[in-house]
Amino acid sequence: MKIVGIAGTAKNTGKTTTTMTLIETACEQGVPLAVTSIGLDGEELDQVTGLPKPRLELPAGAFLVTAEHCISGGTAELEVLKELRAQTPLGKLQLARVLQKGRVLMAGPNNQRDLNEVAQSLEGREADVLLVDGALNRMAPLAGTDLFVLATGAARSNNLAALQRETQTLVRVLKLPGLPPREKSTFSYILNNRGIKGLGTDSLLSRERVERIFSSCREVKEIFIRGVLTGEAFSRLGSMINPEGCRLIISNPINLLLGEDLKELDRAVEVWQKAGGELGVEFPLDLRAVTINPFFPDWQEKGGFYQPRYVEEEALKRYLSSLKVPVINVVREGGSRLWSTVFGEN
Amino acid sequence: MTEKRVLLSPLDPVHDIGLKMIKNALDEAGHTTFLLPPDVTPGEIVEEALDRKAEVILLSRTLGYGVAELLGRFVDLVEGAGIRHKVRLGIGGMAIKPEIAAELGFDQGFGPKTPVEEAVAFVEGRNYVPPKGGKKKEKRNLVGDRTYAYHHQGIRTLLEKISEKTLEWFDGVESPGIRRAELREAGLAGEKDYLTISDASIKDYFSQGILPSGLRLISPEERKGLQDMISAGRVENPRILQRNPRHPLVFIQYGTGCPFMDIAHIKGTEAWGADGVVHFDPSWGAKTEGLLAGLLSHEENGSVLTEENLELIKKALEPSTLWQVRAHRGLNTPETVLLAGEAGADLTKINPVYGSLGGGTDPERLLADAIKAMQYAARYAMPFDMPTNEELCGVPAYKAFAGMLIVTHLGLEMGAKPVLQPLFCYSPEMMLGGQMEDNYIDYNAAKVMALRRIIDAPIWAGAPIGFLTHTEERVQSAVSTSFHAGMAASLDIEGISIASADEAYSGGPITLPARIDTLQGTGEAFRFLGSSRMQPTSRAEEWAEELMTNIHGVLKEVAENGSFLDSLYQGILGSQKEGAYPGRNGRRTVQEIK
């Protein structure tokens, strides 16, 4: 079974539309599938903006993992097969099968460990694909998925030049190559001539932390970060040690994207690599496509509500076409292109 | 319980009071807490969580576009930092609900008004069970511990004299209303003898099944629908509006004619805090000799009085709700009280003075019927209130009160528990006399002060409070009701009837949201005042004394006349010039017992 993570850069970037398109195509092609979400999907109106959301419809035979209180929230007839251990604000997760097609309300695992439990619960069942719909800009629970799709668009920024720069950074990081750490380690470490030394923390989140840890190091052979490395910390790291010949390995690419400033991260990557530093991840992601959505909710100060608006589709596509990954306007280009891009030979 | 290390972070500088309260409760429960200052970044919170080995992180934040992403990134950071499975995440704030918490990736969401104990239970990994029992609403007795002791002996002596004569007269008379009630008691309602003394419309129904226009029987499917509505509409925890036992019980009125609509309004208002509901019947009911039968729907205002209709309403009521069936003004007064008592009503309404001077029924007929009705009220232990709505016709308050006090004494003689009902209203008397030019408090306070100085009886201000102060504007109407409710609470009275915020000018059916407006307003008034009081000016005292003197004067005149009944016709308790016209319905139907 292939697990596909569909992450977004923000609310309303098209995650659920992408997921729904994959569901429809799977149906057409007769591929048995399972679906879940790391947030809440399938509700009529957005919880924050109050604007209509795309509804989630599942075909008969599909598996679904959703929270207890969502089981009766749709029109699909479901058979609950199993209760899982994972708990959510809407109750415990349930594995169910769709008996009669219809809309579903989906609130699934909110972290990677619980997503693993979901995948395990599907073992031995008739599902070739598990689609995991993202939530908001959250990606961390999807770090262990086999195939990855990133949804972005005007809801993230309707300044297309800025959106282009940011998406380039995201793609650059999400496509970082695998780089196996020299030491098999359960903690973050520095490796230099004197040997391996624990960092004392899994994550480097701030400049200050980097300064404390690296005050007496200059020449380092390898740094392994199990947790998060923010752009700010990365930037300081690049100026404290000599990147040349140093292998910097992060557990997974998403852990590089969790800081506040993506521009700073981009500069830090640039500086590191130019100075001869190696950068890679222990568990690479297989980023298959970026899907784009021209829609954005526009806040009306006067009326105090969100107005649905759109950027020009052609312009959006043009700006993002330089990315080193297939860019798909799902609504315009249809499901088969998306399907073959996601599941085809790389 | 194992001690937990809890990090609390108000991401919002102005909304950290909830977190501070939770912190105090957690400290008290023996947990170790770390409250971060506002305005820290998600990265800083995670650093703190790592340094302090937090097991639970509680954030508070109001939502808006972009904030969701900020919170989403925070949850991602916790996971990226490798501590997601060791740390439980809770989020609280104005817009937070479980669905949003799920979308954001938190383990639990706490919306507004979440009890602190719920957050403590989350920290301790327990299921939160809301406390039971402590706040359960119970049916309260409207009469309370009022003793009916007279404080004004002069008035007492006059009332005794008037009553004695009136009851002497009553013992020698009978009426079709009294006779029908006796037949109903004997199980003969709708039978031959009953129909002989009923109007043609009642005869036609019982003998030929022809219903008066605008009425129809509820179908079996509708009956099933009503049953389903009642079972589905149970109110789990009716709201309690009062802040202390001194605050008055709050009554609303229903009577749309449609049982579905009545039940919807009753259930809605019970949920929002109404303590009692008052059944309003159609106005033609007061002019018709005899009552119908069956489960009936009426296409105009007023819910028809039948045994079946009352039974249905009774089934719909929560155990804590007081139920009044009014009987005060028509040709079926004794029968109505009998029906109400049999149906399990808690209260009724009887006032022959208003009913005959403002309600259209002949004084002689209504006085005889009302005394009989009081006997039934006593038998079924139903206190009855005496609305003094003749004030709205233009009768001065002191005259209306003199009449009400005579009825009070008659009621006490019959063994019943009368409830005084002065109006909290901007009456024609006030408009002409200017007593409310400055404020609405003084004169209404004076009315209550005067009555209290005469007799220790329960008072139920009506009906509805603020009558003629309401406009078509809903906020104004709700606020006016709310202030009058506050005044009632300040005067230690036992009950109030409130209007909906769209009642005065609805131009059609009133709506449930507008009922909720005034219930909410009343609750806020009680919350605002607590055990404090609104303070009338010294004018209230002057007017109270004046009212007492005038009431005494009127009673003296009635006593000197020698006949309460004659006084009603003579205008001693409200003259034609003042707007009181003795009613004509049922005239010359009272007969001497041979």
Interface with chain B: mutation pick from A12, A16, A40, highest number of B CBs within 10 Å:
A40
* Domain identity same for B294 and B428: yes
Return the C-alpha torsion angle A73, A78, A84, A89, nearest 10: 0
Q: In A, which residues are within 8 Å of B99 by CB distance? A: 40, 43, 47, 89-90, 107
Query: Which residue in B has a C-alpha nearest to residue A66's C-alpha?
Result: B102
The boundaries of the domain holding residue B438 are 153-172+239-570
- Identify from A12, A92, A136, A256 which residue to disrupt to test chain B contact, counting B C-beta atoms within 10 A and taking the largest count: A136
Long-range contacts of B15-23 (CB under 8 A, 24+ apart): B15/B60, B15/B61, B15/B62, B15/B93, B15/B94, B16/B60, B18/B60, B18/B92, B18/B110, B18/B114, B19/B58, B19/B60, B19/B92, B21/B116, B22/B58, B22/B92, B22/B116, B22/B119, B22/B120
Is residue B545 in some structural domain? yes
The answer to whether B304 and B351 are in contact (CB under 8 A) is: no
Q: Any CB–CB contact under 8 A between B82 and chain A?
A: yes
CATH number of domain containing B482? 3.20.20.440
* Residue type present at position B63: L
pLDDT higher than 70, residue B553: yes
Domains delineated in chain A: 2-175+285-343 (3.40.50), 189-281 (no CATH)
Contact between B80 and A228 using a beta-carbon 8 Å cutoff: yes
Among partner residues B69, B77, B105, which is closest to A38 by beta-carbon distance?
Answer: B105
Residues in A closer than 8 angstroms to B64, CB to CB, are 48
pLDDT at B38 over 90: no
Residue B586 lies in a domain: no
Chain A residue with CA closest to B43: the answer is A205
Among the partner-chain residues A135, A209, A228, the one whose CB lies closest to the CB of B105 is A135
Asked whether the predicted pLDDT for residue B507 surpasses 80, the reply is: no
d(C-alpha B15, C-alpha B67), whole Å: 14
Residue B463 has pLDDT above 90, yes or no: no
Q: How many other β-carbons are positioned within 10 Å of the β-carbon of residue B160?
A: 14
Q: Comparing C-alpha atoms, which of A342, A343, A328 is closest to residue A152?
A: A328
Same domain membership, residue B566 and residue B436? yes
Contact B312, B296 (CB under 8 A): no
In a domain, B380, yes or no: yes
Q: How far is B113 from chain A (nearest CA, A)?
A: 17
Closest Cα to residue B252, out of B561, B552, B499, B581?
Answer: B499
pLDDT > 90 fraction of chain B, expressed in percent and rounded: 82
Q: Check A135 against B81: CB less than 8 A apart.
A: no
CB-CB contact of B105 with A111 (8 Å)? yes
pLDDT above 90 for B27: yes
The C-alpha atoms of residue A4 and residue A1 are separated, in whole angstroms, by 10
> B102, A88: Cβ pair inside 8 Å?
yes
8-state DSSP, A199: -
**Residues β-bridged to residue B8:** B35, B58
Is position B98 within any domain?
yes
Q: Are B162 and B25 in a shared domain?
A: no
- Do B246 and B111 lie in one domain? The reply is no
List chain B residues with CB under 8 Å of A230: 43
Instruction: Please tell me whether the overall predicted TM-score, pTM, comes out greater than 0.80 for this model.
Output: no
What is the per-residue pLDDT across B237-263, written as a single tens digit (0 to 9) for each?
899 999 999 999 999 999 999 999 999
Read off the pLDDT band of A39 (50, 70, 90). Answer: very high
Q: Are B86 and B163 within one domain?
A: no
Q: Looking at residue B328, what is its pLDDT?
A: 75
Amino acid at A341: T
What is the domain count for chain B? Answer: 2
Residue of chain B minimizing CA distance to A92: B107
Tokens of residue B273, six digits: 């805090």
In terms of domains, do B105 and B163 share one?
Answer: no
Cα distances (Å, whole numbers) of residue B309 to B201, B211, B279, B291, B313? 19, 15, 11, 12, 6
Of A43, A113, A140, the CB nearest to B80: A140
**What is the distance, to the nearest Å, from the Cα of residue B5 to the centroid of all Cα atoms in its chain?**
49
Interface test with A, best of B76, B100, B118 (most A CBs within 10 A): B76
**Residue pLDDT, tens place only, B85-130:** 999 999 998 888 899 999 999 999 998 888 899 999 999 999 888 7
Q: Do B77 and A258 touch (CB under 8 A)?
A: yes
**Residue carrying the six token digits 């280009």:** A333
Subunit contact A205:B77, Cβ cutoff 8 A: yes
Confidence of residue A91 (pLDDT cuts 50, 70, 90): very high
> Sign (positive/negative) of CA torsion B127, B131, B133, B135?
negative
Query: pLDDT digit string (tens) for B358-389?
Result: 889 999 999 999 999 999 999 999 999 999 99
Distance set, CA A236 to CA A199, A267, A314, B192, B213 (Å): 16, 11, 39, 103, 88
Are B506 and B437 contained in the same domain?
yes
In Å, the largest CA–CA distance within chain B is: 100
Q: Which of A111, A208, A229, A256 to mutate to test the interface with B (most CBs of B within 10 A)?
A: A111
CB-nearest to A49 from B50, B65, B77 is: B65
DSSP track, A28-53: HHT--EEEEESSEES-SB-TTT--B-
Please name the helix (run of DSSP H) or strand (run of DSSP E) that holds residue B232, with its range, or none.
Answer: helix B220-232
pLDDT digits (tens, 9 = 90+) for A161-219: 999 999 999 999 999 999 999 988 889 999 998 899 999 899 999 999 999 999 888 88
* Same domain (yes/no): B83, B166: no
DSSP helix/strand/coil, B388: coil
Last residue in a domain, options B106, B123, B140: B123
Whether B233 has a pLDDT exceeding 90, the answer reads no
B169 touches chain A (CB under 8 A): no
The answer to whether the CB of A292 falls within 8 A of the CB of A171 is no
Average pLDDT of the segment spanning B72-79: 94
Arithmetic mean of pLDDT, A113-127: 96
pLDDT of residue A333: 92
| Residues from chain B contacting residue A87 (CB–CB below 8 Å) | 107
**Residue B482 falls within a domain, yes or no?**
yes
Please name the residues between 87 and 106 in chain B that touch chain A, using a CB distance below 8 Å: 95, 97-106
What count of CB pairs under 8 Å joins A to B? 130
Shared-domain flag, residues B106 and B159: no
Confidence of residue A244 (pLDDT cuts 50, 70, 90): very high
Q: Are residues B481 and B520 located together in one domain of the fold?
A: yes
- Say which CATH number the domain at B58 has: 3.40.50.280
Do the domain assignments include residue B538? Answer: yes
In a domain, B230, yes or no: no
Of A38, A90, A110, the CB nearest to B98: A90
How far off is chain A from B126, nearest CA to CA, in Å?
A: 13
Q: Say whether pLDDT at B134 is over 70.
A: no
pLDDT at B329 over 90: no
Residue B108, min C-alpha distance to chain A (Å): 5
Residue B65 predicted with pLDDT over 70: no
Q: Is residue B181 assigned to a domain?
A: no
Mapped onto helix, strand or coil, the DSSP state of residue B279 is strand
The answer on B299 and B160 residing in a single domain is yes
Burial grade of B363 (CB within 10 A; 0-12, 13-18, 19 or more): buried
Res B136: pLDDT: 84
Rounded CA separation A34/B180 (Å):
73
Same domain for B379 and B332: yes
Residue A346 has pLDDT above 80, yes or no: no
Residue of A nearest to B100 (CA): A47
